[in-house]
Structure 1
Amino acid sequence: MADPAPVARPSDSTRWRCSLCGNLTRFDVTTTRRAVEFVHVELSGEARVENTEVLEETVEQVRCRWCNAEDSIELVERPGAGSESSTA
């Protein structure tokens, strides 16, 4: 069985939308990420990540939280994206 194709991540001008139920705000996103982290370990042994540099990230799956659809997620334009509107 072949791995599913990666899903595009939204940009400043796009967003995810479930074409089945219309959801624009709630999604479960599965990703694979390679990162370098700066970990600060206290003398007590408590570790804390202070800085993360993401080297590579792939969105594997996006699932609608409302209707549970996986194959119905699409990228759509954000309202007003790309247009310069002045609010005077």
Structure 2
Amino acid sequence: MTVSPPTRGTRWRRTLCGGLPRLDVTRSSTVVEYVHHDLAGEPRTGEREVVGETIESARCHWCNAVDEVELVDRPAAGS
């Protein structure tokens, strides 16, 4: 099961315990990296572009519920 990512106007809330922070998120990413090897052969990543990402699961750090999250609206600034 994949989990929908939060947006600028939403955030995750756990449906079982109602908490907002503290999720252990497992995600798979497809990236393009520019890797430079120095003269000694040590690789260094110069640029990194994420071209795709899937959130595979979100586990509550406190109650251990897996994928029991929902998207809720973020509060407006100053409220």
The two structures have a TM-score, normalised by structure 1, of: 0.77
- CA distance in 2: counterparts of 1:7 and 1:72, whole angstroms: 9
The equivalent residue for 1:10 is 6
**RMSD of aligned residue pairs (Cα, Å):** 1.6
The equivalent residue for 1:74 is 70
Matched, 1:30 2:42: no
Q: Which runs of 5+ in 2 are unaligned?
A: none
- Greater than 4 Å deviation, 4+ residue runs: none
- CA distance in 1: counterparts of 2:63 and 2:56, whole angstroms: 19
The two structures have a TM-score, normalised by structure 2, of: 0.84
SS in 2 for 1:55: strand
Identity %: 51
Q: How far did residue 11 of structure 1 move?
A: 0.7
